Structure 1
Amino acid sequence: MRATAFGRAVPVVGRDGETLTARTRVEADETVLAGHYPGFPVLPAVCLVEAVDLALDGAGRWERGRMRLAEIESSRFLGPVLPGDDLTLTMTVEPSHAGDAVRCTATVSAGRGPAARLRLLYRAVQP
């Protein structure tokens, strides 16, 4: 078990080929909101990376065996995520040219529009 900002799984609610859709809500009492920022709580951007990771992990997305996040190839944070926001994560997973790796391209959206665009690289965990 690992510590998470959300403290829970991020469920996948749809699949269309290699594209997965997950949804979660940012609760007002999320521990990561305390002090980030006083008087104007905003979800730390790294939590959006974690949400994608949790969704992929929970979806059993790894036909090649156990995988782990190895690299954030690209991250663009486009807007704030606030308490009460419902997030939609759209993720596409495809083989990478880097041998035993797979690449996930993800968009995280809140009610106001896109919050992040991410490109993550996963590698097989060595036994």
Structure 2
Amino acid sequence: MTSAAPEAVTARAAEAVTVTGPGLRAAPIKPVDVVTVVSESEVIAVKQVRADDPYLEGHYPDMTVYPGVFLIESAYEAVLHLVRTTRGPQADAELTALDSVRFTTALRPGDELRVRCECRPGDEPGTLAVIAHCTTGEAKAALLKMRYRLR
């Protein structure tokens, strides 16, 4: 079992903001605080939703919520960490399909997002199929079904 400290995740995300090109993405947010690899096919990411995070300013001003697209980014970060932990630091995972997204509960400042990703080989060689269960406390926040190409 491995974990990434917030500094390691933040440093990688900060680098992505200034770099463009194939396989790279902008990540102006801190999508996860801690990532824990449970097994070669399961990873868990945790993110504390904070009212002072800049991306929340103006997002539904009368009822601030964590944007749904950031749930997808949090899951992506978890999958990327799993791939690099199990396949080596140079490995990469590119999101190729978002097959299904179901948002069920809004996340608000003070909530803790927990993303548990179940990963299995995809239908095509060199791909990964992922089901991400997003929760806060006892509530289901979202269910994401995604596919990645491994490099």
The TM tier, using the shorter chain, reads 0.7 to 0.9
Larger proportion of strand: 1
Give the structure 1 partner of residue 87 of structure 2: 63
1:121 to 1:10, Cα distance in 2 relative to 1, 3 A:
farther
Aligned 8 A contact 1:11 1:58 in 2: no
Give the SS at the match of 1:4. coil
Report the CA distance between 1:111 and its aligned residue: 2.3
Flag the 1:8–1:44 CA change in 2: closer, same or farther, 3 A. closer
2:38 is matched with 15
Q: State the match for 2:9 in structure 1.
A: none
1:53 maps to: 76
TM-score by length of 2: 0.73
Q: Which residue of 2 aligns with 1:34?
A: 57
Please list every run of 5 or more consecutive structure 1 residues that lacks an aligned counterpart in the other structure. Answer: none
Identify unmatched segments of 5+ residues in structure 2: 1-14, 17-25
Per-residue CA shift, 1:47-82, capped at 9, x if unaligned?
000001112223325639422111101110011011
Contact kept in structure 2, 1:15 and 1:21, CA below 8 Å: yes
Q: Secondary structure at the match of 1:91?
A: strand
SS of the residue 1:36 aligns to: coil
Structure 1 residue ranges (4+ consecutive) displaced by more than 4 angstroms after TM superposition: none
96 and 10 in structure 1: CA distance in 2 versus 1, 3 angstrom threshold: farther
Distance across 2 between alignment mates of 1:99 and 1:88:
29
Spell out, residue by residue over 1:78-106, the C-alpha distance to the aligned partner (whole angstroms, 9 max, x if none). Answer: 11011111111111110011232111111
Cα gap change, 1:53 to 1:120, in 2 (>3 Å): same
Q: C-alpha displacement at 1:112, in angstroms?
A: 5.1
TM-score normalized with structure 1 length: 0.85
Please report how far the alpha carbon of residue 18 of structure 1 lies from its aligned counterpart in structure 2 after TM superposition: 1.7
| Equivalent residue number for residue 19 of structure 2 | none
Higher helix proportion, which one?
2
